[in-house]
Structure 1
Amino acid sequence: MKIRVVSSREEIATLNPNERLVHLTFRPSNKDIFELVESCPRIEVVQLPKSYMATVSNSIKMFFQMQRIQLIEGDIWGHRKDINEYYAVPSSVIENIKEMKIEGKTNEEIEKQISGESKLNPEMIAYILAKEVSV
């Protein structure tokens, strides 16, 4: 699973229309959000750093709900955009999630444990559980 890291407003227009997960490293305006959804009609998740989540307007939150787009708080730790524009969720994380699911652990237990081990936040783990793990 790959997350597209977008570090400037100017990049939004150049995004692949098939992007589903996007992490914005800048504080987006309402216009930026609308442009993002227009550029990527299949988008499912927008992730923002914690410091930017507080500035997201209620109208954008409602817009995301209407479009069925998840707004997730979180960071991409240790990613270097100059090397790769995508952050790849390590396959070991997905394998650990699958193993824990087979062991019968609840989603909440998996989210808590994996988020502590991988630095991914629980909401992203929940998304991975819903999309990647079919047990």
Structure 2
Amino acid sequence: MKIRVVSSKDEISGISPKERNVHLAFRPSNVDFLDLIRVCPRLRTIQVPPSYHKTLSRAIRLFLEMQGITLLEGDVWGHRKDIDEYYVVDEESIEEIGTLIREGESIEEATAAIQKKTKLPTDLIKYIARSKITA
């Protein structure tokens, strides 16, 4: 799973329309979210750092929900954007989440187990687990 890291609002216009997962590493305004959705019509998730997540308006949260876009809280620890513009969740972690879910673990139990092994944000693990349940 690749997550496109966006460091500033100036980068939004240059993002590929095919992007499905985006991490906003800056404090986004409502207009920034609207621009992002306009540029990336296939968007499924937007991840923002915890400090920014708390300041998002209720209106934009509801708007994203109505658009079918999942808002995730989390960081991309250790990612260097100057090396790669994508943060990659390795396939091993995704498969392990899927295995735990298939074995009957609850989403909460799977999240706790995976978080002990990786630095993945809780919301991202839960999102992947839910997608494995519906797949």
TM-score by length of 2: 0.91
In the TM superposition, what whole-angstrom CA distance separates every residue of 1:32-57 from its partner, at most 9, and x where no partner exists? 11100000011111100011012111
Identity of aligned residues (%): 48
Where 2:14 maps in the other structure, the secondary structure is coil
> What residue identity is the alignment partner of 1:119?
K
**Preserved contact between residue 97 and residue 133 of structure 1 (Cα < 8 Å):** no
Structure 2: distance between partners of 1:80 and 1:109: 30
TM-score by length of 1: 0.91
In the TM superposition, what whole-angstrom CA distance separates every residue of 1:11-46 from its partner, at most 9, and x where no partner exists? 100111111110000000111111000000111111
2:2 matched residue in structure 1: 2
- Deviation, 1:115, is 2.1
- The aligned runs of 1:1-135 (5 Å cut-off) are 1-131=1-131
In the TM superposition, what whole-angstrom CA distance separates every residue of 1:52-106 from its partner, at most 9, and x where no partner exists? 0121111111111111111111000111100000011012211222332343222
**Preserved contact between residue 107 and residue 130 of structure 2 (Cα < 8 Å):** no
Structure 2 stretches lacking a partner, 5+ long: none
Structure 2: distance between partners of 1:93 and 1:128: 10
> What residue identity is the alignment partner of 1:87?
Y
**Preserved contact between residue 107 and residue 126 of structure 1 (Cα < 8 Å):** yes
**Preserved contact between residue 23 and residue 47 of structure 1 (Cα < 8 Å):** yes
Structure 1 stretches lacking a partner, 5+ long: none
Structure 2: distance between partners of 1:132 and 1:63: 25
Q: Runs of 4+ in structure 1 displaced over 6 angstroms?
A: none
> What residue identity is the alignment partner of 1:53?
H
Structure 1: distance between partners of 2:43 and 2:52: 19
- Deviation, 1:122, is 2.2
Where 2:83 maps in the other structure, the secondary structure is coil
